[in-house]
Chain A
Amino acid sequence: MQFNRKKEITMTTQRMFILSLIVSSVALSFCPALFAAGKLNVVATTTALADIADEIAQDKIRVTAIASPKQNIHHYAPTPKDVLKVKKADVLIHEGLDLEAWREPLLAAAGNMRFLGEGQYSMDVSQGVPLLEIPTSLSRAEGDIHAFGNPHYISDPENAKIIATNIAEGLANVEPENADFFRKNAETFNQKLDEKIKNWKVRLAPFKGAPVVVYHRSWSYFAKEFDLVIVGEIEPKPGIPPTAKHLAEVLQIIREKKVKVIIKEPFEETRTPKKISDETGAQVVTLSQSVGEPKEAKDYISLMEQNITSLEAAFAREGGK
């Protein structure tokens, strides 16, 4: 009797296993019906890209971002929710250049065939951006360097214009019937940026050539655009946490070059910059490259506005450059 009961249980379990797979398959066969939507489903790796895409495509797409604006873009760990987003997406927009080191594992987990390789549905918006700091040799002795060049180009609003054009052209390829709409919106966005850039340059003009120290090598494009000179980094090499010996060197640089401002991002620790600030009097200013961090930065333009205002205030507190 016991033998028969056990056999029965075993068979039931086997059947349940097979049944669960069948049920899943049948449920999934209704997937297109459940999620059918007229709008293009776009996923952007960062909140800044998502915002620019939204400006260009407006109600023609449904756009979501992957990486949280509060976290370091290099070290973001994709979640099951991100896997689902990518799985269901029609278009993926990314910054390329190894900025999102987690992109490849995420694409592998999602298994959305549209984004394998570099087809029209996977948009690398770095195309045409004049890159800085392209390494002449690759070695981890130089820290976490990026083979194709510094990937933090979105910090320069001039590059945001290239990004906008790339997104418009990319979306135009996917939806040719809306091509004019996308291109017109990109143009409007770029014109808005042009006006803003003029204003930002005027506001930062009194600090032209001012030496600054940055936490990570993520402000090179911004500094070039607004004529600031980066004279040191708190990280001894990109992605390598600061050491006491290196900090001594940074302190010396700050004193020698009369640095007034130290730039960090929200996810970078405050303790070390504050310690340097306490010893040298240089102001620590937190700038961001992610829309939504801080909360007031609701779009790319207000993000940059926030950055310029913070920087201007920091220089002003120190009485100019």
Chain B
Amino acid sequence: MSLIGTAWAEPIAGPNLAQDVSDLKRMMAAMESNVEVLKSTVRAQNEIIERQNYRIETFEKKQISLPSSAVAAPQTPASAKTFLQGKFNPDIGVVGTTQAKLTQNKADVDGNNTIALKELEVNFSGVVDPYSRLDAVLALNDNLESQNVDIEEAYYTRWGLPFGFTTQLGKFRADIGKENLLHSHQLQTVDYPLVIRDFFGEEGLSSSGARLKNSIPNPWDLPLEITGEVLRGNNGNSFSGISRRPIFNTHLKTFFEPSQDTNLELGWTTMFGDENPSRTIMVDAGTGTGTLVATSYTPPEGQDRYGVKVFGGDATFNWFLPEGKKVMCQNELYFQNRGNVAQINNDPWGFYSLLDYKFSEKFSTGVRFDYLNPLDVEGGHGTTSVSPYFIFWQSEFADAKLQYSHTVSAGGEKTDNAAFFVVDFMIGAHKHAVQ
């Protein structure tokens, strides 16, 4: 600066002036360089401050979660208290599923030859207190007729009951086999297997009720998990009874590890419930067989009480291959014993077999075979379906599924070919329950 001042104050001869200008330029360049260095230093310091703030915040959070006896209460400023309050908010996540479907089915119903947002799930979860937690999933549907919001799951979990029992209260996906426990975006395929859809509903059975679960001790240290559920009665296709007669469900599962790279899970489901038939019975359009029962039909008191029994077995085999590759073979078989005449078929049954191969970090492929002897078709005319699929895992948070389904029903008289393209995407917190 003094040099500049001098330069203006005293007239300087030609050669000296050029020299001074050159010096000034050099000084300016050096100053600019210094400013840049200072700028980057400030940037680096800011980053360090931000990191330190983040760590301090984390430590403060951890101190707060410690028992009061362990740590003296820190003197936290009021502003910080307000800020940390936000940390007690539940984990929130959003999962969207968009589906495009092309089908031979000519019916102008929801989902046929359309592309639509199939579902938007908003999930909340968090610890309630030292004994319990809450999980909730709200599903927003963009149906053709109306947009609606469903409580897909909302249940309170209480741990630490006598003898190590855990209970869950609220609405949850019933512990039936394997796939019924999963949300649709967790499936390998774009839809639930035929037998699940026919017996328990398009999205499986999710119902209000209470659940009690525990592990059965045994001398072999074998995982032997038993679940008992009491569910609201008027749920699912199989149990279309009344609420005051609940559905009882038990599921027993065990697990083996034949080798370090393989495991096998076996499960057994027993359900019984009520059907108080006040519904129109479908007659098989293909064969014309079946008995039409009037909607006003009421069985004698007690005749159909818990007259619907569903039994099912499930087996899942996982084989972990090198480099993150994996083969999974999953099978579920269900059959019913119905003691009333509310449905045409008193002994419906069905199964599916799913073979899935994750052959790279990005791609999976597989096929599902379905067989169903449905509730509402008499005469042993089963429905079969073959659904090969391909999945692209863009990341842990987004995937795309392509599936083709060839379905033959009513003894081969009706066929349908459908192609699906589904994209799942999620933001925020999203942790799936251990199955």
Q: Report A's interface with B, CB cutoff 8 A.
A: 3, 6-7, 9-10, 13-14, 17, 20-21, 24-25, 27-31, 34-35, 68, 70-72, 75, 77-84, 87, 101-102, 104-106, 108-109, 111-113, 116-119, 134, 136, 140, 143-144, 148, 239-241, 266-271
CA distance A80 to B131 in the complex (A): 22
B138-176 residues at the A interface, CB under 8 angstroms: 157, 159-160, 162-166
B11–chain A nearest beta-carbon distance, Å: 54
Q: Is the CB of B65 within 8 A of A81?
A: no
Of B131, B254, B360, which contacts A113 at CB under 8 A? Answer: B131
Which B residues touch A3, using CB under 8 A? 300, 302-303
How many A-B pairs have beta carbons closer than 8 Å: the answer is: 161
Which A residues touch B255, using CB under 8 A? 79-81
CA distance A262 to B287 in the complex (A): 66
CA distance A79 to B435 in the complex (A): 8
Write out, one digit per residue, whether chain B residues 205-228 have a CB within 8 A of any chain A CB (1) or not (0).
000000010111101010101101
Q: Quick one: closest A residue to B393, CB to CB? A: A241
Which has the most chain B C-beta neighbours within 10 Å: A28, A34, A78, A271?
A28
Which A residues touch B225, using CB under 8 A? 80, 83-84
Pick 29 A–B contacts, CB within 8 A, sort by A: A14-B306, A17-B250, A17-B272, A20-B228, A20-B250, A28-B163, A29-B163, A34-B219, A68-B320, A75-B396, A78-B434, A79-B265, A80-B254, A80-B265, A83-B434, A84-B221, A84-B225, A104-B431, A111-B166, A116-B127, A118-B65, A119-B66, A134-B51, A136-B50, A140-B397, A143-B395, A266-B323, A268-B323, A269-B361
CA distance A267 to B325 in the complex (A): 8
Q: Is the CB of B58 within 8 A of A28?
A: no
CA distance A78 to B219 in the complex (A): 22
Known: A105-B434, A239-B395, A241-B395. Is A81-B133 also a contact (CB below 8 A)?
A: no
CA distance A79 to B317 in the complex (A): 12
Q: Is the CB of B214 within 8 A of A71?
A: no
Q: Is the CB of B393 within 8 A of A7?
A: no
Q: Is the CB of A25 within 8 A of B163?
A: yes
Q: Quick one: closest A residue to B321, CB to CB? A: A70
Q: Is the CB of B130 within 8 A of A117?
A: yes
Write out, one digit per residue, whether chain B residues 27-51 have a CB within 8 A of any chain A CB (1) or not (0).
0000000000000000000010011
Of B65, B226, B320, which contacts A117 at CB under 8 A? Answer: B65
CA distance A269 to B164 in the complex (A): 42
CA distance A101 to B214 in the complex (A): 24
B284-322 residues at the A interface, CB under 8 angstroms: 300, 302-303, 305-307, 309, 320, 322
B81 within 8 A of A: no
Q: Quick one: closest A residue to B392, CB to CB? A: A241
Q: Is the CB of B431 within 8 A of A240?
A: no
Q: Quick one: closest B residue to A270, CB to CB? A: B323
| Top 4 A-B residue pairs of the complex, sorted by shortest distance between their CB atoms | A111-B159, A28-B163, A109-B434, A80-B223
B interface, over-half SS: mixed
Q: Is the CB of A10 within 8 A of B307?
A: yes
Which B residues touch A136, using CB under 8 A? 47, 50-51
Q: Quick one: closest B residue to A271, CB to CB? A: B360
Q: Quick one: closest A residue to B226, CB to CB? A: A24
Which B residues touch A87, using CB under 8 A? 164, 215
Q: Quick one: closest A residue to B230, CB to CB? A: A17
Which B residues touch A269, using CB under 8 A? 323-324, 360-361
Q: Is the CB of A118 within 8 A of B427?
A: no
CA distance A82 to B225 in the complex (A): 12
Q: Quick one: closest A residue to B54, CB to CB? A: A134
Of B248, B302, B307, B324, which contacts A72 at CB under 8 A? Answer: B324
Which B residues touch A143, using CB under 8 A? 395
Which B residues touch A134, using CB under 8 A? 51, 54-55
Q: Is the CB of B432 within 8 A of A105?
A: yes
B253 within 8 A of A: yes
Q: Is the CB of B250 within 8 A of A35?
A: no
Q: Is the CB of B431 within 8 A of A101?
A: yes
A89–chain B nearest beta-carbon distance, Å: 13
CA distance A70 to B326 in the complex (A): 12
CA distance A270 to B66 in the complex (A): 44
A39–chain B nearest beta-carbon distance, Å: 15
B263 within 8 A of A: yes
Which B residues touch A81, using CB under 8 A? 223, 255, 257, 263
Which A residues touch B65, using CB under 8 A? 117-118
Which A residues touch B250, using CB under 8 A? 17, 20
Which B residues touch A24, using CB under 8 A? 214, 216, 226
A301–chain B nearest beta-carbon distance, Å: 22
Of B130, B165, B223, which contacts A116 at CB under 8 A? Answer: B130
Which A residues touch B279, using CB under 8 A? none
B306–chain A nearest beta-carbon distance, Å: 4
B257–chain A nearest beta-carbon distance, Å: 7
Q: Is the CB of B219 within 8 A of A31?
A: no
Which A residues touch B221, using CB under 8 A? 84
Which has the most chain A C-beta neighbours within 10 Å: B157, B257, B306, B397?
B306
Of A13, A113, A144, which contacts B272 at CB under 8 A? Answer: A13
Which A residues touch B217, using CB under 8 A? 27-28, 30-31, 34-35
B362 within 8 A of A: yes
Known: A84-B223, A87-B164, A136-B47. Is A266-B214 also a contact (CB below 8 A)?
A: no
CA distance A9 to B306 in the complex (A): 9
Q: Is the CB of A240 within 8 A of B360?
A: no
B244 within 8 A of A: no
CA distance A87 to B58 in the complex (A): 28
A82–chain B nearest beta-carbon distance, Å: 8
CA distance A34 to B323 in the complex (A): 40
B386-435 residues at the A interface, CB under 8 angstroms: 393-397, 427, 431-434
CA distance A241 to B51 in the complex (A): 28
Q: Is the CB of B261 within 8 A of A70?
A: yes
Known: A240-B395, A241-B395, A269-B323. Is A68-B260 also a contact (CB below 8 A)?
A: yes
Which A residues touch B96, using CB under 8 A? none
B339 within 8 A of A: yes
Which B residues touch A106, using CB under 8 A? 434
